[in-house]
Amino acid sequence: MTEVLKLDGLTLTLEQLEQIALGAPVRLDEQAQERMNASRALVERIAQGDQPVYGINTGFGALAETPVERSDLARLQRNLVVSHAVGVGQPLETEATRALMALRANVLARGVSGVRVQVVERLIELLNRQIHPHIPSKGSVGASGDLAPLAHLAMGIIGEGKGRQANGPWRPMTELLDEAGLAPIELQAKEGLGLTNGTQAMLAVGSMVLLQAERLADLADVTGACSLEGLRGTNVPFDELIMNARPHAGQTESARRLRALLRDSDIMASHKDCGRVQDPYCLRCMPQVHGATRGALEHVRSVLEVELNSATDNPLIFAEEGRSISGGNFHGQPLALALDYLAIATAELANIAERRIEQLVNPALSGLPAFLTPHPGLNSGLMITQVTAAALINENKVLCHPASVDSIPSSANREDHVSMGMTSANKAVSVINNVGRVLGIELMTACQAIEFHQPLNASPGVQAAYETVREVVEPLAEDRALSEDLEAMDLLLRSGLVRRRAHAAAGL
């Protein structure tokens, strides 16, 4: 039976968020409901008073000084939602959409946003019924948070816009709600603002892609170990003495994994006394390069873990102190910088992997048949797979320019510095997908190189990776169209099977 995960605004983890994104059910914590009721009571007192408080009885952004009549407060919140639903482009993938819904519910559950419990309960109901609003991926500048994506999320709650059940066709939300026996919610004072202010779109996309990047960091050690075996390299540079002399945690971890993955190799033992003095950097410096990426990802994780349980709307409602305070927690700069760093750091895994691909296919460097075909000349072998890797890496180099170095003022210059964090998140998705494909090319190429060392076996870890690849991609004896093989490799690596089997065989 699937565990029901609790949302309390305080304890959500990245791993739990991924479970929800993949379909796990959720519920609202009882203590969170008490906190929400307390802050809601304060909002309702403010709404009945004459003191202007931003977003409760005033306009928004540059209209913050414009008062709104008490009779129009509900209409004000609805107008905020529909006027800000200006997203464009492809919708978020289902997993990112579910992560966004869960994150927004979790933020509101912290109890300092002043929305009613039933608003969060509706988000949870939609999650548990697999009803997902249509949320375009573009249109946010990352302050006042992700306004456009969050407005499209709020549209689903009030029964406007479109959505879909699971991954079905897009349909009007009114139809989906009616079929589920749910009436659209009429937002009350502060609730439209509570739903649309915050960083949850960039955080949702960034969280999913960080977890993917962390797995790619582990996978890069596996594919690199396979390339080293194919190129008859040595594991000596990964010695603990070398690592202890420069004890960066990521470097130490990658070296530990490489030592385990390369242990007890017949191929390595066969050339132990060869005349080669040093391997090229792309082999010898794997701990240093892969490890630096690990260190960067650890920093990104620390930023995202704080944001998961942070209140990021405005104003914040502090019931115990009896105060509504306007501030800037919606600003996405911490995430924008971290997600740009994520893309840059992960791209390096592909950069160094492409150099290993070149070592493998170039006969002047590998000592193996040209382009790893038994009959070069008549056959081109894996010549052009390196070209595909180069094309993907070129795209990454363009995408790795930081979005966070830009700021375009908005809302009549009231919002005069913005983070562009959603752009950082969207770019990171493309970069990480490209990295995965390059690692797939490397692994397929390394396995083809290992063919030429038979009947010698690679290390148990590498052999496990090789045998897993051979379940979906045959050795290349004669030229064939390799596009389908590359697609099969991408799906295989996304499944995690290569990484898990290699780790198990190596004792990791």
Q: What amino acid positions are annotated as catalytic residues?
A: 54
- Number of residues in the chain: 508
Q: How many CA atoms lie within 13 A of 432 on its CB side?
A: 29
Are β-strands 5-7 and 26-28 bridged in parallel, bridged antiparallel, or unpaired?
parallel
Identify the bridge partners of residue 306 per DSSP, sorted by sequence position: none
166 dihedral zone (left: phi>0; alpha: psi -120 to 50; beta): left
* Dist. CA 426–CA 66, nearest whole Å: 35
* Dist. CA 359–CA 371, nearest whole Å: 10
Which residue, 213, 458, 450, is CA-closest to 342?
Answer: 213
* Dist. CA 47–CA 18, nearest whole Å: 37
Outline where 362-496 has alpha helix (H): 363-366, 385-399, 421-451, 460-469, 483-495
* CA-based end-to-end distance of the chain: 29
- On the 0-12 / 13-18 / 19+ scale of CB atoms within 10 A, 508 is middle
* Dist. CA 55–CA 115, nearest whole Å: 12
* Dist. CA 380–CA 390, nearest whole Å: 17
Identify the bridge partners of residue 415 per DSSP, sorted by sequence position: 410
* Dist. CA 156–CA 134, nearest whole Å: 8
Residues ≥6 apart with Cβ < 8 Å to 388: 437, 441, 486
Which residue, 318, 53, 83, is CA-closest to 189?
Answer: 53
**Which phi and psi (to 5°) does residue 402 adopt?**
-65, 130
Scan for tokens 């500048």, then name that residue.
Answer: 141
